[in-house]
């Protein structure tokens, strides 16, 4: 276990640093504009049991984890609207504190499960007491509706180990379709929503000053 703790140190550090950096993007938007394309950011280091499961499933030798398992460090950036995702991806590509090494667009090409999300894999340099270590991290960018569906499907997957009963499968397909339509509907009234949100946050500021 000591070996794992040591192996995961740079991943933990990367998550801590990246959460601050990506949340910082949100704060900057809030300061400078009325709308932020980033709703919230989460991050986690993959638990050792999940690393071992995935390595086994994908036949990744344990001495190749650093180069072949891209999501030991994982972050999620949630957006309100589908077109915010592109804005966020462009911002990530333009940063010079990490390098984008791969992108997977499961929005234009959803997975057979119904999963939709945009994945950006980055190479991130971590400064450690024994020098710089470059690690891979996966940033998943998705709308709140995509995140809701993926979170529920992920828990059910855990319960049924991918072998869903027919009824659950049908309902998950319908739910994926509903989440897709929800995103479309919200995009249609995006300006209306943003005006209301700007009005709400201005009023909140005014109340704070009283």
Which residues belong to the active site? 138
Nearer to ligand 0O2, 68 or 184 (CB): 68
Smallest distance from the beta carbon of 129 to ligand 0O2, in angstroms?
28
Three-class SS state of 100: strand
Q: How far is the CB of 143 from ligand 0O2 (least distance, A)?
A: 14
Q: How far is Cα of residue 6 from the mean position of the Cα atoms in its chain?
A: 25
Closest Cα partner for 66 from 128, 127, 8, 17? Answer: 8
Site string for ligand 0O2, 14-53 (x = CB under 6 A): --------------------------------x---x---
Q: Per CB under 6 A, does 154 bind ligand 0O2?
A: yes
Residue closer to ligand 0O2 (CB basis): 35 or 104: 104
* Nearer to ligand 0O2 (CB atom), residue 26 or residue 54: 54
- Closest CB 2 distance from ligand 0O2, rounded Å: 23
Between CA 84 and CA 63 the distance in angstroms is: 38
Applying CB under 6 A, does 54 fall inside the site for ligand 0O2? yes
Contact 95, 25 (CB under 8 A): no
Distance CA 51, CA 60 (A): 10
Sites for ligand 0O2 among residues 65-84 (CB under 6 A): 71, 74
111 binds ligand 0O2, rule: CB under 6 A = yes
Contact 198, 36 (CB under 8 A): no
- CB-based burial of residue 84 (10 Å sphere; 0-12 exposed, 13-18 middle, 19+ buried)? buried
What tokens does 145 get?
């509706």
* Shortest Å distance, C-beta 78 to ligand 0O2: 14
| Closest-CA residue to 102 (of 84, 123, 81, 86) | 123
Which residues of this chain interact with ligand 0O2, rule CB under 6 A?
46, 50, 54, 71, 74, 104, 111, 113, 115, 119, 138, 150, 153-154
């Amino acid at each position: 276990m000591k070996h794992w703790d040591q192996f995961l140190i740079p991943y933990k550090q990367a998550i801590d640093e990246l959460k601050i950096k990506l949340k910082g993007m949100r704060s900057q938007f809030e300061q400078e504009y009325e709308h932020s394309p980033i709703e919230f950011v989460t991050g986690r280091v993959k638990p050792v049991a999940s690393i071992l499961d995935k390595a086994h499933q994908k036949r990744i030798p344990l001495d190749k984890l650093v180069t072949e398992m891209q999501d030991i460090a994982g972050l999620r950036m949630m957006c309100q609207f589908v077109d915010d995702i592109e804005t966020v991806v462009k911002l990530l590509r333009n940063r010079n504190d990490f390098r984008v090494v791969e992108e997977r667009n499961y929005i234009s090409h959803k997975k057979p499960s119904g999963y939709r999300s945009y994945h950006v894999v980055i190479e991130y340099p971590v400064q450690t007491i024994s020098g710089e270590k470059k690690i891979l991290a996966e940033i998943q960018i998705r709308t709140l509706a995509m995140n809701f569906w993926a979170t529920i499907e992920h828990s059910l997957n855990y319960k049924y180990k991918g072998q869903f009963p027919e009824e659950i499968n049908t309902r998950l397909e319908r739910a994926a379709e509903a989440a897709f339509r929800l995103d479309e509907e919200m995009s249609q009234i995006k300006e209306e929503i943003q005006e209301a949100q700007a009005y709400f946050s201005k009023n909140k500021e005014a109340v704070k000053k009283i």
